[in-house]
Amino acid sequence: MTDPLAAVFGCAGETLQPGEAAFFRDCDPLGFILFARNCRTPEQIRRLTGDLRHAVGRADAPVLMDHEGGRVQRLPSPPWRKVPAPADLGRLPPHEAALAVALNAQLMALELADVGVDVNCVPCLDVNDPAGHQVIGNRAFSADPGIVALLGRAQADGLRRGGGLPVIKHMPGHGRATVDSHLELPIVRASQGELADRDFQPFMALADLPLGMTAHVLFPELDPDHPATLSKRIIGEIIRERIGFHGLLFTDDLSMQALGGEIGQRAAAALAAGCDVALHCNGILAEMQSVAVSCPPLSTQAQGRWQRALAWRQTAQPASRVEILKELEALT
């Protein structure tokens, strides 16, 4: 068996098309990611996640989702519950907030597992900045890095109790960005000291977690030429050394407009900079083909990081979703 490609891909719609299935079979990406365009009913999503795994012949291929709550909710409501935004839970008193976040995360993990999704791209450990663009906004737990760290840990613990894997994002911090990185490249001119005192803090507190994601943000005081996703200096000196994160590192979505250049070149540059896995989300087959040509198999070091992530994950604890929801509603 060959090693999987150092890539995670999306697909275009609610069903896997023959051309997509053939492409995934041939290139064998590490895993997949789903978005709202892929999600309609429980039965449909279960069929899709099963078909994706069947395409690569690996029943344990990870399927990711950005299911944060609030305006970033991929499972439609109805039929699923409306998940509270992180900031809404972050406004509770800290003890109650931590309990609520953990319960909500456990419930999310169980809901996702029911449709075949085993990795949730949370917690968002960005520290909210009222002067920043609302691309983060209420996706952040708080403007207080201590609260962000506390609730990020609670969210990761809740996901683990539900059998899920968390992804800390967006390293080394997206909260100060004043433009939407989906549309253009944010430039954050804070000094390294300012970033270390605030933005890095939640990531340092949760650096032991097994999966992380970069930010498509340019920090001129850290690297004047490359955004974090493409910066060997930021990934090596800041994310790996200063923050102390040694888990598997995903890029943020390479199809976002913050990054320039041809899509395959973006993937190659991110992996050369030190990212472990190229993440491509929009489901456009031609773009995925270009990324695949530019991506090597998962490195030996990255494979070890992925295996440690799998070892970190726990079997979901027996729990009643009705009771969890009742506890959560009592707190909120």
Q: Which residues are catalytic?
A: 182, 252
Maximum alpha-carbon separation in the chain: 51
- Report the alpha-carbon distance of residue 28 to residue 145 in Å, rounded: 39
- Report the alpha-carbon distance of residue 172 to residue 244 in Å, rounded: 11
- Residue 179: its H or E element: none
On whether the CB atoms of residues 279 and 8 are closer than 8 A, the answer is: yes
Tokens matching residue 28: 């064998």
Tokens matching residue 191: 């000094």
- Report the alpha-carbon distance of residue 49 to residue 43 in Å, rounded: 10
Dihedral (C-alpha) 305, 311, 313, 314: value to the nearest 10 degrees? 180
Tokens matching residue 185: 């490249």
* Dihedral pair phi/psi, residue 119, rounded to 5°: -130, 125
- DSSP 3-state assignment of 51? helix
- Report the alpha-carbon distance of residue 167 to residue 153 in Å, rounded: 11
